[in-house]
């Protein structure tokens, strides 16, 4: 289904009539859509980041303080909070500096696990591959001219993976690689996800790349220095006192931010929504038919470390006892659209992704209803658009679902017509940046999604028999 078709389908869904007999299943869901203001949690997380160097990443005091905040709120509501120690291997940049031939400083992000430049940095000519005319620029060593040997290569992303480009540039003899995204606005570039580059790799915005390309052939000064980091952090759990332990409903979100910012949308927004759902469920926790377990994951920004460790620690019987898993990401993007993951692949059958386990279609339906009961439109998104903590559960065969408010894409005109905002711009222009703070999230989107999260938790706490593996 195309974007326009999905948008029209969303409007039709919003106008549909609930199935007969749903009231008995939805009584708690209705109650949980009212309660405290979820934004209060984000105010607290923003203050935590501000007090601890502007970040809540694992291995920092900001993450530890975030854990204490969640723990205190859950404990005060009557939950018994437990922790799981999780070892992690991460990477932290120490110096990220790029100076153009005309002496201007450019913000650059160092790729995770890529080698550092020599001590003091390097100064070398800039060689820029054309940004247009090649669908796979820099994917092969032969894409680079001979002048790249000993130079800093400037290449746009796309056509192959970042490691592929790093290997090709290294084979061509480049001293370092600068990657940029093709976009209508500056973009917070994702960091490299694999330790397989032989040369330093940095990321800059498209606008910066255009300025640099105009000065190609002249020397740039580049200094990228980082170090590996090993440590132990915790996942945080709380579950209802009542409910069938053979039918566990899990709802989770990662609590850590990236190192580059406070992470109030990514992913404080979702952690706040899950926390608020737990607080609203607390008065009913002794009487729910299904046990509900809330999870606040650590080290998602290091590639889902906390959630993978948790699932790997479970026995087959424990995995079987999990009726479903709900995961949430970036629910309050500044230029948001509401997306629910396509659990039955009905809207995205040809994306090439692994698909969700059987039963996930019912999870999608309930989450969609959580927006529908508010009169809020919602679109379907393929699971591959939200690589996050649901991945380990999906791999284990657990029916899964989730929602996000727009992650790394650009808002379409159809989406702008549904949700407002600006077409042609990123959903979250502050992604993985210092501006991912309280001032740059969309509070309307936050409150709408928090109600949808609470609705799904309340509904599945009462009834989850329609989720069949």
Residues tagged active-site: 300
- Residue 264 DSSP one-character state: I
- Taking the C-alpha atoms of residue 461 and residue 249, their distance in angstroms, rounded to an integer, is 7
Beta bridge partners of 106: 98
CB 330, CB 392: distance < 8 Å? no
Q: What is the DSSP letter of 268?
A: I
- 401 sits in which H/E element: strand 400-404
CA 201 to chain centre: 22
| Residue 392 · residue 303 · CB < 8 Å | no
| Angstrom distances, CA of residue 213 to CA of 100, 182, 296, 298, 368 | 10, 13, 43, 39, 46
CB 229 within 8 A of CB 59: yes
CA-closest candidate to residue 302, choices 63, 91, 95, 55:
91
The CA distance from 396 to 286, in Å, is: 29
Is residue 110 within 8 A of residue 202, CB to CB? The reply is yes
> How large is the angle between the packed helices 3-14 and 360-372, nearest 10 degrees?
70
Which residue carries 């009961």 as its tokens?
A: 373
Distance CA 375, CA 14 (A): 7
How far does Cα 6 stand from its chain's mean position? 22
Phi and psi at residue 446, to the nearest 5°: -60, -50
Task: Output the CA–CA distances (angstroms, integers) from residue 24 to 17, 382, 458, 466, in the order listed.
Answer: 16, 31, 12, 14
From residue 382, alpha-carbon distances to 202, 340, 390, 394 in Å are 29, 9, 13, 13
Q: Which residues contact residue 272 at a Cβ distance below 8 angstroms, ignoring those fewer than 6 apart?
A: 38, 39, 41, 42, 45, 446, 450
Distance CA 152, CA 386 (A): 33
């Amino acid at each position: 289904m195309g974007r326009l078709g999905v948008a029209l389908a969303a409007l039709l869904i919003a106008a549909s009539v609930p199935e007969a007999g749903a009231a008995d299943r939805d009584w708690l869901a209705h109650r949980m859509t009212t309660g405290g203001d979820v934004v209060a949690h984000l105010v607290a997380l923003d203050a935590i980041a501000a007090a601890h160097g502007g970040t809540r990443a694992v291995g920092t005091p900001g993450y530890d303080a975030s854990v204490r905040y969640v723990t205190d709120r859950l404990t005060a509501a009557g939950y018994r909070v437990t922790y799981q120690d999780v070892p992690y291997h991460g990477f932290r940049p120490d110096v990220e500096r790029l100076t153009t031939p005309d002496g201007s400083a450019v913000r650059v992000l160092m790729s995770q696990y890529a080698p550092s430049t020599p001590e003091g940095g390097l100064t070398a000519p800039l060689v820029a591959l054309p940004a247009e005319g090649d669908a796979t620029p820099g994917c092969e060593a032969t894409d680079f001219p001979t002048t790249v040997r000993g130079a800093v290569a400037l290449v746009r992303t796309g056509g192959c993976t970042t490691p592929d480009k790093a290997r090709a540039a290294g084979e061509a003899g480049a001293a370092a690689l600068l990657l940029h995204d093709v976009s209508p606005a500056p973009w917070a570039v994702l960091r490299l996800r694999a330790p397989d580059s032989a040369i330093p790799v940095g990321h800059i915005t498209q606008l910066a790349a255009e300025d640099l390309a105009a000065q190609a052939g002249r020397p740039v000064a580049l200094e990228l220095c980082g170090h590996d980091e090993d440590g132990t952090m915790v996942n945080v759990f709380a579950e209802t006192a009542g409910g069938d332990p053979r039918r566990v409903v899990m709802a989770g979100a990662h609590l850590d931010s990236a190192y580059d910012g406070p992470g109030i949308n990514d992913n404080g927004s979702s952690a706040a929504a899950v926390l608020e759902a737990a607080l609203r469920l607390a008065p009913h926790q002794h009487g729910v038919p299904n046990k509900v377990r809330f999870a606040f994951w650590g080290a998602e920004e290091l590639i889902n470390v906390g959630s993978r460790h948790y699932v790997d620690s479970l026995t087959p019987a424990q995995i079987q006892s999990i009726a479903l898993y709900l995961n949430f990401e970036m629910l309050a993007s500044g230029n948001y659209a509401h997306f629910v993951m396509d659990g039955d692949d009905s809207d995205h059958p040809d994306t090439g992704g692994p698909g969700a386990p059987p039963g996930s279609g019912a999870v999608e339906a309930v989450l969609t209803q959580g927006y529908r009961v508010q009169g809020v439109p919602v679109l379907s998104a393929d699971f591959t658009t939200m690589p996050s903590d649901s991945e380990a559960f999906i791999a284990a065969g657990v029916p899964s679902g989730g929602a996000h408010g727009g992650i790394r894409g650009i808002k379409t005109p159809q989406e702008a017509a549904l949700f407002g905002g600006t077409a042609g711009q990123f959903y979250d222009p502050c992604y993985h940046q210092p501006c991912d703070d309280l001032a740059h999230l969309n509070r309307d989107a936050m409150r709408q999604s928090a109600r949808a999260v609470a609705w799904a938790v309340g509904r599945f706490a009462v009834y989850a028999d329609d989720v069949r593996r």
